[in-house]
Amino acid sequence: MRLRRDLWKAVKTGDLVVYADQFDGVFRAKIVETDIRVSARAEAGGFGYPYGKTAVSGTVKIEWETLVAGHRVKQSGIENLANLVVYSIERLSQLRRKWNLWQTAKSSAEALGADFLVKVEEYKKI
């Protein structure tokens, strides 16, 4: 279940969400910042909201952990709430299972494609 626009006002720092990325996988993420403030270089000491307020734009900063060479590495990014899923252990495990199935199918398809290209090259030599 995606975070609907009417729920954006209730989101606060520390809330858990599911972050699903087609390249890296599915992760439990924590909202670390709402109403993201960025230093406005034009004004000395001034801050602005380039992404807008979270209640209106739905933009938040999230943080999640990945495994890189056996070590846990914290990563963060700016994401829209419309692209995140309401957290529950069941949703997280289901999405991880589907992502793993997709990766297996993708690698099988790539292997079949390589076999096809090898066979084409063999037939060209005949």
80 versus 38: the higher-pLDDT residue is 80
- The Cα-based distances of 85 to 26, 41, 42, 126 in angstroms read 10, 34, 36, 54
For residues 3-29, average pLDDT: 90
pLDDT in tens, 76-118: 999 999 999 999 999 999 999 999 999 999 999 999 999 999 9
For residues 25-37, average pLDDT: 92
- The Cα-based distances of 97 to 5, 16, 104, 125 in angstroms read 27, 19, 11, 43
Token duo for residue 67: 């495994």
Domain boundaries, the chain: 5-125
pLDDT in tens, 85-96: 999 999 999 999
pLDDT band for position 6 (cuts 50, 70, 90): confident
